[in-house]
A and B are shown apart, each in its own frame.
Chain A
């Protein structure tokens, strides 16, 4: 028998009628303190911002297939009064080390930084939207709007056309969106903020109007002299994906029947990614039809580059010139 008394009258009926609760075989709990988020499960209710959010699931780390783990600090919820779906992000501080080639960099999960980014980009369609409110003990809970859309990378990977058609018909539009994404990152950098986790699966194409939108801003790094270096690396990786429609490691070239040893033998260490050296940035060696100016931009992210990009604006200007040169 469920005790409904912890839940106020104004949401009790909606809670009782919710399909998830009907199937729940335990007492739903009301959380006003989200510190121990591992205790908060399906069917529980989180009370923040004078709103009651029913937990209906948890988001998962999106890109790594079988390793997908639910992120318990990121519950999917329904606002019991409005019926709107949201994603909550609960405070979870952690740090860990990532390896980029021979370099080790400490990465921090920083709810505070994400709150600052959300404040800055409120109303800006290039970014996911949300706001932060303290729970009963001061944990900053981020209430995020759900973007109805699809991941940029999966959308592009599914395009059924050959490279020639992709270059002619799809790439101009995609790169136009990419330039807008760069403008978004330049806005953050101008305000001393970094995105922190720029990856191709952290761009969602909004299903309503096709806008490409950045998500997930809670990573931070400690690179005092080059605070935006990893954002730049991420942007280079995304551009490589957009131009090549996938990433190519040397082993991928070897295993590709159309390239194989013939193309592999032309590759040099200078063609690889500057830091991780795991993927080929000299894309024209694999895709000779790629316009040279695009390839020249990519080469700024390669081991062999004589000139490194110092800031996103330089990448933006170069790419904009390429678009005019190639597509007019």
Chain B
């Protein structure tokens, strides 16, 4: 099991995600050894994307540009909480042939992160069934690491 203060935070532009980053700042802000990776995973383009003239590289560039803004915001929150800027890394990844949660779990295993953090949206059972829930997937597959689900 990786060290707990090697923390992977799944982020997007939504408020629950920013809440999770604030929570990480509060908990880990005073830990000297902490290292944090902000990860933004985005889905593959829709099935008709290429048939309707879309270019995958442009789609990825757009998603990465959007993620950069999220990273900036999250980094400021963490730095304000006392975490050194050098201790913060950022990564963007497309979920290719996988779900977003599967991709998150893969990145977790590859980086041997001891803690994975995500925000929790309040969604209904029907929404969860249809659109899925990263936090539920994390809770379900949490093994050899600790999950922080911030509501």
Contacts and interface: CB of A to CB of B under 8 A. Distances in A.
Interface of A: 93, 95, 100-103, 105-106, 108, 110, 112-113, 192, 220-227, 229-230, 233, 274-275, 303, 305, 308, 310
Contact of A226 (B44, B46, B97, B132): B132
B47 A108 contact: yes
A225 B48 contact: no
Contact of B130 (A93, A103, A303): A103
A223 B130 contact: yes
Interface stretch (B63-71, B77-85, B121-129): B121-129
A222 B126 contact: no
B72 to A, nearest CB: 25
**Residues of A contacting B: mostly:** loop
Given A223-B130, A224-B43, A229-B132, 15 more contacts: A93-B48, A95-B48, A100-B130, A103-B127, A103-B130, A113-B47, A224-B99, A225-B43, A225-B99, A225-B133, A226-B99, A229-B129, A274-B126, A275-B129, A308-B128
A108 B129 contact: no
Nearest 3 pairs between A and B by C-beta? A225-B132, A224-B43, A226-B132
B61 interface: no
Given A192-B97, A305-B125, A226 B47 contact: no
A275 B134 contact: no
B48 A224 contact: no
B51 interface: yes
A224 B47 contact: no
B66 to A, nearest CB: 16
10 contacts: A93-B52, A103-B127, A223-B131, A224-B99, A226-B99, A226-B130, A229-B131, A274-B126, A275-B129, A303-B125
Given A223-B131, A224-B44, A103 B95 contact: no
Contacts of B132: 223, 225-226, 229
Contact of B131 (A192, A226, A233): A226
B127 to A, nearest CB: 8
B93 to A, nearest CB: 13
A327 B22 CA distance: 56
Nearest to B50: A112
Contacts, number: 66
B130 A110 contact: no
| Most A Cβ at <10 Å: residue of B100, B129, B131, B133 | B129
A157 B70 CA distance: 55
B144 to A, nearest CB: 20
B35 interface: no
A105 B130 contact: yes
Contacts of B126: 101-103, 274-275, 303
Interface string B84-103: 00000000000101011100
A225 B132 CA distance: 5
Contact of B48 (A105, A108, A274, A305): A108
A106 B46 contact: yes
Contacts of A308: 125, 128-129
A3 to B, nearest CB: 36
Nearest to A220: B47
B46 A225 contact: no
